[in-house]
Amino acid sequence: MRAKLPLIVFVLLIALCPLFLGEFHLTLLNYIGLSAMVALGLVVLTGVGGLTSFGQAAFVGLGSYTTAYLTTAFDVSPWATLPLGLLLTGVVALGLGLITLRLSGHYLPMGTIAWGLALYYLFGNLDFLGGHTGLPGIPPMSLFGWRLSTSGQIHYLIWPLLLAAMAATQNLLNSREGRAIRALKGGSLMAESMGVNTGRSKIIVFVLAALLAGLSGWIYAHMQRFVNPTPFGLHIGIEYLFMAVVGGIGHVWGAVVGAGVITVLKQWLQDWLPKILGQSGNFEIIVFGIMMVMVLQHARSGIWPSLRRWWPLPPRHRGLDAVGQPLPQRPLPPPGSPLLSLRGVTKTFGGLVACKDIDLELRAGEILALIGPNGAGKSTLFNLISGVLPLTSGRVDFLGERIDLLEAREIAGRGLSRTFQHAHLLPSMSVLENVAIGAHLRGRKGVLAASLHLERREEGQLLGEARRQLERVGLGALADLDAGSLALGQQRIMEIARSLCAAPCLLLLDEPAAGLRHMEKQSLAELLKGLRTEGLGILLVEHDMDFVMNLADRILVMEFGEKIAEGLPEVIQNDPRVLEAYLGGVE
Partner 1 sequence: MDLQIALLLSQDGIVNGAVYALLALALVLVFTVTRVIFIPQGEFVAYGALTMASLQAGKAPGTIWLLLAMGCLVTLVDLFFALRWGERRHILRSLLWNLFLPLGIVALVHFVPVAIMPMPMHILLTLAIVVPMGPMLYRLAFLPLAESSVLVLLVVAVAVHFVLVGLGLFLFGPEGSRTPAFTDAVFNLGLLYLTSQSLWVMICSLGLILALERFFHGNIYGKALRATAMNRTGARLLGIAPTSAGKLAFALASLIGAFSGVLVAPITTIYYDTGFLIGLKGFVGAIVGGMVNYPLAAAGAIIVGLLESFASFWASAFKEVIVFTLIIPVLLWRSLRSHHTEDQE
Residue 117 as a binder of partner 1 (CB under 8 A): the answer is yes
Looking at the Cβ atoms of 42 and 358, the one nearer to partner 1 is 42
How does DSSP assign 219-266, residue by residue?
HHHHHHS-B-SGGGSHHHHHHHHHHHHHHHTTSHHHHHHHHHHHHHHH
Q: Does 9 bind partner 1 (CB under 8 A)?
A: no
**Binding-residue total with partner 1 (CB under 8 A):** 54
Q: Supply the minimum distance, in Å, between the C-beta of residue 73 and partner 1.
A: 20
- Which window, 59-67, 145-153, 236-244, 258-266, contacts partner 1 (CB under 8 A)? 236-244
Interaction of residue 547 with partner 1, rule CB under 8 A: no
DSSP string, 287-311: HHHHHHHHHHHH-TT-HHHHHHTTS
Q: To which H or E segment does residue 357 belong?
A: strand 352-363
Q: Which long-range contacts (CB under 8 A, 24 or more apart) does 117-122 make?
A: 117/234, 119/55, 119/58, 119/61, 119/62, 119/232, 120/57, 120/58, 120/61, 120/229, 120/232, 120/233, 120/234, 121/229
Quick one: 18 or 187, whose CB is closer to partner 1?
A: 187
| CB 147 to partner 1: min, Å | 37
Q: How far apart are CA 232 and CA 563, in angstroms?
A: 62
Other C-beta atoms lying within 10 Å of the C-beta of residue 422 = 10
Q: Which one among 9, 87, 99, 568 touches partner 1, defined by CB under 8 A?
A: 99
Secondary structure (H, E, C), 189-231: HHHHHCCCCHHHHHHHHHHHHHHHHHHHHHHHHHHHCCECCHH
Does 382 engage in binding with partner 1 (CB under 8 A)?
Answer: no
Q: Does 53 bind partner 1 (CB under 8 A)?
A: no
CB 438 within 8 A of CB 501: yes
User: Counting contacts by CB under 8 A, is residue 89 touching partner 1?
Assistant: no
Q: Work out the angle between the directed axes of helices 56-74 and 234-248 (0-180°, nearest 10).
A: 130
**Span from 101-109, 347-355, 511-519, 547-555 in contact with partner 1 (CB under 8 A):** 101-109
State the minimum distance, in angstroms, from the CB of residue 430 to partner 1. Answer: 21
Distance CA(426)–CA(179), nearest Å, equals 10
Q: Which stretch binds partner 1 (CB under 8 A): 45-53, 302-310, 341-349, 482-490?
A: 45-53
Task: Tell which residue, 93, 4, 78, has the closest CA to residue 41.
Answer: 93
Q: Confirm or reject binding of residue 115 to partner 1 (CB under 8 A).
A: yes
Among candidate residues 371, 384, 428, 330, the one with its CA nearest the CA of residue 564: 371
242 binds partner 1 (CB under 8 A): yes
When asked if residue 125 is in the footprint of partner 1 (CB under 8 A), the reply is yes
Q: Decide whether 286 or 454 has the Cβ nearer to partner 1.
A: 286
* Torsion from C-alpha of 400, 402, 404, 406, nearest 10 degrees: -110
**Is residue 481 at the binding interface for partner 1, with CB under 8 A as the rule?**
no
The answer to whether residue 286 forms part of the interface with partner 1 (CB under 8 A) is yes
Q: Which of 225, 235, 330, 343 binds partner 1 (CB under 8 A)?
A: 235
Confirm if 206 and 93 have CB atoms less than 8 A apart. Answer: yes
Q: Does 107 bind partner 1 (CB under 8 A)?
A: yes
- Rank residues 118 and 448 by Cβ distance to partner 1 and give the closer one: 118
* Piece in contact with partner 1 (CB under 8 A), picked from 7-15, 180-188, 439-447, 510-518: 180-188
The CA-based dihedral angle spanning residues 284, 287, 291, 293, taken in that order and rounded to the nearest 10 degrees: 110
Asked whether position 279 contacts partner 1 by CB under 8 A, the answer is yes
What span, in angstroms and rounded, lies between the C-alpha atoms of 498 and 246?
A: 35
- The correct pick among 53, 198, 379, 490 for binding partner 1 (CB under 8 A) is 198
Choose between 170 and 188: whose C-beta lies nearer to partner 1. 188
**Per-residue CA distances from 402 to 363, 387, 399, 406 (Å):** 16, 12, 8, 8
Q: In Å, how far are 16, 401, 476 from 333, measured between CA atoms?
A: 64, 14, 29
Among positions 33, 41, 63, 187, the unique one binding partner 1 when judged by CB under 8 A: 187
What is the per-residue binding string for partner 1 in 401-440, x denoting contact by CB under 8 A? -------x--------------------------------
CA angle 187, 373, 582 (to 5 degrees): 160
- Residue 362 or 426: the one with the smaller Cβ distance to partner 1 is 426
The CA distance from 253 to 163, in Å, is 10
For position 73 contacting partner 1 by CB under 8 A, the verdict is no
Q: Is 128 in the site for partner 1 (CB under 8 A)?
A: no
Q: Among 27, 170, 225, 283, which residue sits at the site for partner 1 (rule: CB under 8 A)? A: 283
Pairing of strands 554-559, 367-371: parallel
DSSP string, 401-464: EE-TTS-HHHHHHTTEEE--SS----TTSBHHHHHHHTTGGG----HHHHHTT--HHHHHHHHH
State which of residues 50, 248, 333, 512 lies at the interface with partner 1 (CB under 8 A): 50
Widest CA span in the chain = 98
301 binds partner 1 (CB under 8 A): no
Q: Output the smallest distance, CB 268 to partner 1, in A.
A: 16
Q: Which stretch binds partner 1 (CB under 8 A): 240-248, 444-452, 473-481, 521-529?
A: 240-248
> In the bound complex, what is the minimum distance in angstroms from residue 280's beta carbon to partner 1?
9
Q: In this structure, are residues 523 and 474 in contact, taking their beta carbons and an 8 Å threshold?
A: yes
- Binding status of residue 5 toward partner 1 by CB under 8 A: no
**574 binding partner 1? (CB under 8 A):** no
Pick the closest to residue 81 from 218, 208, 190 (CA basis). 218
Q: Which is nearer to partner 1, 113 or 265 (CB)?
A: 113
Which residue among 30, 35, 52, 53 contacts partner 1 (CB under 8 A)? 52
Q: Does 299 bind partner 1 (CB under 8 A)?
A: no
- Give contact residues for partner 1 (rule: CB under 8 A): 46, 50, 52, 54, 96, 99-100, 102-107, 109-111, 113-115, 117-118, 121-122, 125, 184-189, 192, 198, 235, 238, 241-242, 245, 277, 279, 281-286, 288-290, 292-293, 296-297, 300, 408
